[in-house]
Structure formats: structure tokens, C-alpha cells
Amino acid sequence: MSVEQFADRHIGPDPDAEARMLEAVGYATVDDLMDAAIPETIRWHGQLDLPPAASEAEATAELRALAADNTVAVSMIGLGYHGTHTPAVIRRNVLENPAWYTAYTPYQPEISQGRLEALLNFQTMVADLTGLTTANASMLDEGTAAAEAMTLARRASTNRSPVYVVDADTLPQTIAVITSRAAPLGIQVRVLDLDTEALPADYFGLHLQYPGASGAVRDHQKLVDAAHTGGALVCVAADLLALTLLRPPGEIGADIAAGTTQRFGVPMGFGGPHAGYLAVRAGLERMLPGRLVGLSRDAAGDPAYRLALQTREQHIRREKATSNICTAQVLLAVVAGMYAVYHGPDGLRAIARHTHTTATRLAASLRALDGVHVVHHEFFDTVLTRVPGRAEAVVTAAADHGVNLRLVDADHVGISCDETTTDAHLRQVWRAFADTTDTTGTTGVADLPDAPPTALPATLLRTSDFLTHPVFGAHHSETAMLRYLRRLADLDFALDRGMIPLGSCTMKLNATTEMEPISWPAFADVHPFAPAHQTTGYQRLIAQLEGWLAEVTGYDAVSVQPNAGSQGELAGLLAIRAYHVQRGHGHRDVCLIPSSAHGTNAASAVMAGMRVVVVGCDTDGNVDLTDLDTKIDTHRDALAAIMVTYPSTHGVYEPGIAALCAKVHDAGGQVYVDGANLNALLGYARPGHFGADVSHLNLHKTFCIPHGGGGPGVGPVAVRAHLAPYLPGDPTGDHGTDRPAISAARHGSAGILPIPWAYLRMMGPTGLTRATAVAVLAANYVATRLRAHYPVLYTGNKGLVAHECVLDLRPLTKTTGITVDDVAKRLMDYGFHAPTMSFPVAGTLMVEPTESENLGELDRFCDAMIAIRAEIDQVATGRWPTQDNPLRNAPHTAAMVTADHWPHPYPRSVGAYPDGVDPKNKYWPPVRRIDGAYGDRNLVCSCPSPQAYED
């Protein structure tokens, strides 16, 4: 084995371990195993046409060369993306810290208290700054947050009109995303210049930008009042930094606020990832889409955080879900929230004042130039100038000085200031104007006044306090901040502590070499609308990545724009819709979805304007082909698509997939294969070849982008050639085409694409194929070891599973009362994150070990599960009562097992150090089992007052 091979680092089991696992499963080689597991109908016997594996050093060098092809200019383009200083203590200890970035979505709240607290800080920050009562724990970006606000308004409005009014001074990419989302839902978007055009008679909602995209700060009060009179709801897309100085949306009566938190310490990253936000007034909190963190209490009555209300909304409500959002932007929300914690309210105000003062100084110096007109008198950070006929020349001259400005049109240039703007930048901007305009009367030097009068309207100055909670005042020194971040990280269980065997989520290695490039300035500090010649490195990286993803999936074209799997689903379904419409089949609107599907599938279908028809599954977990025939017959003329996951969410390779694709095609429908389980296929089967028309991939599953505690992700959409014309377009440049805007930025979360690029580059065709085989081997090894203790619910060919296996707890629950929840919580005592619970079948656990876990860790997990089975047996025999045993009382905290009072019928040591747990290497859950329902009845979704902890 050469130490140069990255694949040997990425793949956990070494050849010796692999041999032992094969022996346990009963196969001589991995090839034999894969031949037996994968149905020949889907098997692909070709060789992946990818460059051979590069070493870590080589891949890093290639990425450095790509980065060097990007030009990092001073960005004053604005339009929702601004320069910001990521505090180094946050960059190193959050963004670059695996304790934060390798964590999973906090569905197991007892072992996620650190990031839940960080997210509660984020929610509090957003709610305080917007002046609204409740904010959720991040949206995907400003455009999609605004689109979610639109659908929320529609649900909540008493006005039945289909019209949604959008102020023309809204970010153009936001208008594009809103418009793309509105069309399939029958919502009519009216973009109106509300300075000059009147509101229509009837509309259900109104979207305003504050400050406007042009920089103008307007008093929206009258518009808000007018909208409310007609029963419409108002969403204000607001800049949080401006809100430290300006009256917040909540104080002018806005119902909803939406936007981005990018400029709170999150690098631009050529468009993302950043945390969007969504906040609502009292009364709308139960309609908020996405994740909401709230306070509840644990079994000891102590306060504890967990996800509130509609946490897994899509899984529960499916086609009735309010939104398809699943993976969000948690890691970036944590960064933004910590930025507010580190700076505190005074620090944020100071940053805002700096930003504003630089803008007013620039405006004053430009006003002194003949031929330059400053359009708006009232602005926060953006100066809009009129330079008739010379805008392009000004922008070019500024670019020559290393500064990017916004070319609005032939006559207008926009300049946005931010935290990073210096006097030197202002002088370069001034010079670009002076050199291209009539300079008579100038001295040739910018006259930058020290403190010109404010350009904020006196009537809109903020008078209310914000961020008054002690957390925003306690961590301003770097030492305090460092310790706060460490303390929270220590509360949590992430991949840096142990295995997270979550079925369908593919929690595999996020290699450091893959991660490092994302904070290089040449990738991090690029504005998404920077001129193309400055971003050639990014463009090459993206083109290569899209090409490689097309190759491994067997599709013809790929777009990386969707910034989560759910968004890829929407993009793929919209492509199907557009294809049918184009062929005169616009009436095809039925989407068949098996009952086993991930909840996002149904929610996405509804968002794409489709009707969901559920297809049943047989007792083996496969799509019931007889029921499929029936449903196709019933809906033949209206059939738009089927959406299936492959391998299925039951963890088996369904042999019927090729037949299924043929049946749907024969009826004129398209086949959407949800690619979340691609980790079981790479190198062995390609959806684009076995009959599918379109898939989304989850780069945060198969391709090593870390889950970040619930995001970021990237959900590329991959299609066969006939759907390629309908792939996502450029949100700022493709108006009026068939290409929808799925995200606000053309390449979505481009800033993290170096991760999958590096993974593919370092694994090469052989490494990728071997990873798939080892992932399948690991799942079968676990299934083999655990089968005698827990039935494996579904198996395919020769009794084999694919890359995950479903353990059936229901028979044990029936006889002992011990539930899947009890087992999940008990695993915490053993030092594990639970497998996926009750998906796709209630009462089961779905285990996906991935190829990255070595045999020692796989055995530790199996041993724990076997020991837990023995504990269940103690309940079965009556030795331990159903209501008082180590499972029901799990997880055990240090406080609980060291308490002077111990009333339980088993020793403290059994609670704390169950079989095999090394006391020197013990992870202590910080809270006991959390009562979720209590928190839902008593909803608290911002930082609780310190007194809340007293009683």
C-alpha cells in the first residue's frame, strides 16, 4: 500500500479488515459481493472516464492553480453580497473546526446542545434586529427565503387574490427566484415601481426591499398600512447590518422579514453558502417553514434545547408540507450568530456606522465631481450615481484599479461600502470617476470629508434596543469567545468523536485536504457577480466538477446551482414540467411517489405544481409494481413523472427498477431518481443509463461536503440531454427563458465546491468504485453481525442489503415496551449517534456505516447494539421494570449518576459505563432525555432569560 493513495485514507477498513469482513459476510472478494448484491439489470460494466487519482499534495497544488486563476478584487458591487471580516477566532474555531462542521442536523437534541444554543443565538439575533418575534434557524439564501415568505403570506392571507406584488427596487436575483417559484403555484408576480406606480386593487402579499437594491432608504410605512387594509401580508427583505441603525421591519408593521446574514462574517464564496433568514410576527410562528430551535426541558426538569414544532415537517405532512426545506445553512448560521455574539450590539452598531460613514464620505467626494450625480439622498451603504453614457467606462476604470463596482445600466453605477472598505478603496473609486468624467475644477485628489452628515432619514432611525440578552455581552474578548466556542463544541457529538451511522444521510469522512481550500481568499472572497474574467478559476473548477458528476451518473448535463437536495428536486421536477409544456403536454401534472419516499419528494412535487399520487410498497419494501400499473392506468394521460429513490430508502437494490422506468416511459412520464443514495452506486451503476431522466445528488452526502450540523449542502441536478434546456439559469441574466432561478446565485454554494472536486480528484475512478464496494460491505457486515439480535427488515438478492440496513425494533417494542427512541438514546450512553429513526418505516433504525468507518468502529457499534439487546432482554424477563431501566432512563448525565440519591434498580455504573465503555474515553450527554412536546406547548424560540434557568 502506497502512502500516497488518498483512497486508503478515506476508506476505513484496511485490506486485512476487509478480508475479515468479507469472511463474515460469506464472500471471497468484494467483486463477488457486488456481483451478488447489484441486479444485472442496472449494472454498468464500463470504466469511469475520470482522471486517475491525484495525491493530496497534487490535488492541493491543482486547486491552488485554479484559485490563482481567480482575481480577488475589492468588492463594492453589493446587491446582497458584501465584504466582511470573519473574526479569526470564529474562522478557525467554527468554520475550520470539525467539531462544528462534521456534526449532523440536531435531531438527537441531547447530544446537540452546543449547536442548538448557537442556533438559538442566531434566531435571537434575527428576531431582535428585525423587530419580529420569531426567526427560524436559517434559510438557504435571500432569494429562497423571500420565496418562502411569499408562500407563507399566501397561506396566512385572508385575501384570495393570486397576485403577489414585488417592489421593483428588490434585488434582481430575488425577483428571479420569487418568479420561478411563483409560476408553478399559479401565483402572479407583479413587479411595480412603488415610487410611481399604484398598488393593484387586490393582492395577497407585498414584498419590499429595505434598503432598496439601489441603495435608497424609503419609509415603507404607508405601503405596509395599505397592504394590511386589503388583508395582504408584507414581507420586508432587510439588511441586518442596516437594521442596527434603522427602524426595523417589525416596527413598521411588517409581518415577515427575509434576507441573508452573509455580511455577518460569512465570506461571499462566489455566491454561497450563506445563511438566509426568515422571521415572523407573533401569530405566524406555527407557519414558519424549516427548522426552528426552541427551549424545552429534560427528564430532570432542566432547560434543554431541541428542534421545535415542524422539525421533520416533510416527513410528517409530505405533500401538505409548507415547504420542502430540509438541509439548511446551519454552519453559516452559527458563524453569523457568533459574529453577533463576538461584536455585541455596540460592536455591530460601530460596524454599521463605519459602513454608513464611508458611503456618505464617498458620496460627498463624488458630488464634488462635475458630471456625477448622486441619485438618492437617503441611503445606508450604497451610493447610486448617474453618469450619463459613461457607466461602463467608470466600472472598467475602477476594475483597473482593483475595485469592482455595480454596472446598473449605461447611465448608472452603484457602489456599496462595507466593513472592509478603507480610505484607499474610496480614493480608487473616486479616481475611476474622476478619470472618466469631466474633471474640470478638481484637484486630482479625492476630497474625503471626515464626517459628512448622516444620510439616514431622521424619521427612520432606530430607537429600540437589540441583543440585550447577556450572551451578546459576555464574549467580547478573544479568550472568552474561544472558551465559549470550545464549551459549546464539547457538548456535542460529531464525526470527530465517533461514528454517525445515519441511514440515507451518508455521514462519511470530510477530509481536511478537501476542506482547507474553502477558506483560501481566492475562493472565499469572490463576489458572485464579479466580472467573468476574474472568475476563470471558479468556472474551470465548476465545469470540471459538473463534467465529472455527469460521468459518474451517466447523465448528459449537470447544474450545481441548487443549494440542497430539496432544491435539486425542485429544479429537476421543473425541468420535467417545462419539457412536457414544450411538447404540448402541459396537462401532465401527476407525480407518482412511492410510500417509502423521503418527505422532501412529495413537498417538492407540490412546489413544482404537481399532484402527488402515492404508490404502495410490497412486503419486501419494493415499489409494488402491480399498484404502479394501476396508478399508471388511472392517470395515464396526466402522468408527468415518477420519483423514486435508488437504491430504495429500504436499503436494497430493487431489481424492478428497469421495468419501473420502462412502464412510466411507456405512459409518457419521466423518471426522477432521487440520488441521495448514490454512495451505493458509484462505479457500479449509473442512473442516466438504467432508465432515469433526471436525478439530484447530495454533495453533502456522497461527495464529502460536511453536514455542518444541518447544512450547508449542494444538491446538483443532473439530466439527460432532452431536459438540459430546462436546467437552472442565471438568476441575474436569464429572464424570460425556460431556465428557472433555483438559487440566488448562478452557481449556488460555489464556495464549497472545492470539497467534492477534491474528493473526486483524489479518489479517481478506482478509489470511487472501491469506496462503493466497501460501503456495501460495511452495511452487510453490520447486518450480518446484528441479524441474530434485531431482524433486518428488508434484503435483496441473496439476502444482501445495499449500503444501509433497516433494523426492525417493532417486535421487541411489542413484547417489552422498549422503543426505537429508547435504543437511540441508550446509544448515547455507549458513545454513539443513533442511526436514522423511524424512516422509512416507523419503529425501525436505519444504519448506514459508510466506507469511512474502520472495522474497530464498526465492531464497537455492533457490540453496543448487541449489549443493548441484552439489556432489552432484562426488561423482557422482568428483571428491570419497563418504566425504570437503563434504556428508558437514557441518556444518563454525569449529574444523574453522581447524584446522592439513586433510586433505580440497576447500578450507577450500568447507567454511566455500559458494557465496553471506557471511563477514560467517555462522552457525557449534557442533558437528560428531552420532552419535545412540552416545548411545543410552551414555545420559546429565542434566548431564554437567565431566570428561566432558575426554577
Ligand X SMILES: *Cc1c(COP(=O)(O)O)cnc(C)c1O
Residues that bind ligand X (CB under 6 A): 326-327, 504, 564-566, 598, 600, 645, 649, 674, 676, 698, 713, 715
Q: Smallest gap, in angstroms, from Cβ of residue 131 to ligand X?
A: 30
Closer to ligand X by Cβ: residue 340 or 545: 545
Residue nearest ligand X, CB atom distance = 565
* Closer Cβ to ligand X, 13 or 503, answer by number: 503
Cα–Cα distance measured from residue 70 to residue 754, given in angstroms and rounded to the nearest whole number: 13
State how far the Cα of 850 lies from the Cα of 500, in Å rounded to an integer.
Answer: 9
CB 405 within 8 A of CB 395: yes
CB of 717 vs ligand X, minimal distance in Å: 12
Q: Which amino acid is at 275?
A: A
For residue 840, the minimal CB distance to ligand X (Å) is 9
Cα gap 761→545, rounded to integer Å:
9
Q: Considering the complex, what minimum distance in angstroms separates the CB of residue 184 from ligand X?
A: 18
Q: Outline where 787-927 has alpha helix (H).
A: 810-816, 820-829, 855-876, 894-897, 908-912
Least distance in angstroms from the C-beta of 734 to ligand X:
24
Q: Which is nearer to ligand X, 254 or 328 (by Cβ)? A: 328
d(CA 146, CA 274): 14
As measured in angstroms, the least distance from the Cβ of 948 to ligand X is: 32
| Between 593 and 940, CB nearer to ligand X | 593
**C-beta of 418 vs 674, nearer to ligand X:** 674
- Angstrom CA distances, 797 to 22, 35, 48, 346, 771, stand at 17, 10, 25, 64, 21
Residue placing its CB nearer to ligand X in the complex, 362 or 673: 673
Question: Is residue 237 left, alpha or beta, with left meaning phi > 0 and alpha meaning psi from -120 to 50?
Answer: beta
Rounded-to-integer distance, Cα 544 and Cα 551, Å: 10
The nearest distance, CB 675 to ligand X, in angstroms, is 8
Torsions phi, psi for 617 (to 5 deg): -120, 150
CB of 802 to ligand X, least distance (A): 13
Q: Are the CB atoms for 55 and 233 separated by under 8 Å? A: no
Distance in Å, CB of 602 to ligand X, minimum: 11
Amino acid identity of 718? Answer: A
Best CA proximity match to 261, nearest among 248, 250, 276: 276
Nearer to ligand X, 210 or 759 (CB): 759
CA distance 817 to 809: 10
Q: How far is the CB of 567 from ligand X (least distance, A)?
A: 7
Nearer to ligand X, 125 or 177 (CB): 177
322 contacts 287 by C-beta, under 8 angstroms: yes
Nearer to ligand X, 134 or 698 (CB): 698
* Helix/strand/coil for 512: helix
* Smaller CB separation from ligand X, 93 or 327: 327
Backbone angles phi, psi at 384, to 5 degrees: -95, 125
Question: What is the radius of gyration, based on Cα positions, of the chain?
Answer: 28
Task: Note the maximum CA span of the chain.
Answer: 97
Q: Which is nearer to ligand X, 327 or 852 (CB)?
A: 327
CA distance 819 to 788: 18
- Pick the closer one to ligand X by CB: 317 or 869: 317
Give the HSE-up count for residue 762: Cα atoms under 13 Å, Cβ half-sphere: 31
Q: To the nearest whole angstrom, how small is the minimum distance from the Cβ of residue 772 to ligand X?
A: 17
Cα distance between the two ends of the chain: 60
Closer by beta carbon to ligand X, 175 or else 771:
771
358 within 8 A of 417, measured Cβ to Cβ: yes
Q: How far is the CB of 748 from ligand X (least distance, A)?
A: 12
Smallest gap from Cβ 595 to ligand X, in A, equals 14
Residue closer to ligand X by CB (options 243, 321) is 321
Q: What is the DSSP string of 273-321?
A: ---EEEEE-TT-GGG--S--EEEEEETTS-EEEEE-TTTTHHHHHGGG-
| Secondary structure element (H or E) that encloses residue 386, with its range | strand 382-386
In 9-161, which ranges are E strands? 74-75, 134-135
* Omega of the bond leading into 39 within 30 degrees of 0 (cis): no
**Shortest gap between Cβ of 325 and ligand X (angstroms)?**
7
The number of beta carbons lying within 10 Å of the beta carbon of residue 791 is: 16
